[in-house]
Amino acid sequence: MNFAVMAKYAVYFRQGVLYTILLSVFAVALGFILALMLALMRLSKNRLLKGVAGAYIEVMRCTPMLVQLYFMFYVVFVKYITVPKFTMFGFIDGSRFVPGVVTIALNSAAYVAEIIRAGIQNLDYGQTEAARSLGMSQAQNMRYIVLPQAIKNILPAIANELVVVIKESSVCSVLGMQDIMFNAKLVQGATFLPTEPLVIAAALYFVLTFPASKAIQSVERRMSRGDVR
């Protein structure tokens, strides 16, 4: 394999890494906000809210992200939503970046919502009863008692979602979003070398995800120290 040729195309891989990181971070942040709303809807006593959240989660979990991406890009952002033209860092096309972020966030939210719901339900119900005995409302109980503990318990799982999103974001390359995978294909076409760009792309994904996984494990160990009695 001739990796020496790849040095000429290093800029493409650097841009791909930046695109992938931005795509993943924005998607996880937006997905967490939506997931929190869905989790609270699932726990609501309102049947309509509970049913809507449940239906959304099942649809998003039972359909491929690629189909969701095509639907979002070619239907929602063509017929109903217009993204103003803008460019980030000189090479990121906002009209493609935004649909990618939204699609990944909507997909990720379906999984994270179930994580949050499980984290809330696993808390001792006695704490909720104690909060009521102190005169706290349901909203105050959720804000000051339940959510802080639930988020602490599920934080490793939420952080792990970032690792998953980094890998799954490669699907956005099919729509010309200049992530690692898309730029690796560009280099393949320019050099007529099929193997080397893919090896570099795999190495870059590994460099992004492996340290993140180890950092998550370290944080999880630190957070669990206070739970040992």
Q: Which of 42, 35, 44 is nearest to 165 (CA)?
A: 35
**How far apart are alpha carbons 208 and 55 in whole angstroms?**
33
Question: What is the reported pTM?
Answer: 0.86
What pLDDT band is residue 225 in, cutting at 50, 70 and 90? low
Torsion on CA atoms 54, 58, 59, 61, rounded to nearest 10: 140
Domain count, the chain: 1
Per mean pLDDT, which range of 23-32, 98-107, 140-149 is the poorest? 140-149
Give the residue numbers spanning the domain of 104: 23-178
In a domain, 90, yes or no: yes
Contact 124, 146 (CB under 8 A): no
Is the pLDDT score of 147 beyond 80? no
H/E element, 92: strand 92-93
Q: Rounded to the nearest 10 degrees, what angle do helices 10-43 and 147-168 cross at? A: 140
CATH of the domain at 43: 1.10.3720.10
50 inside domain: yes
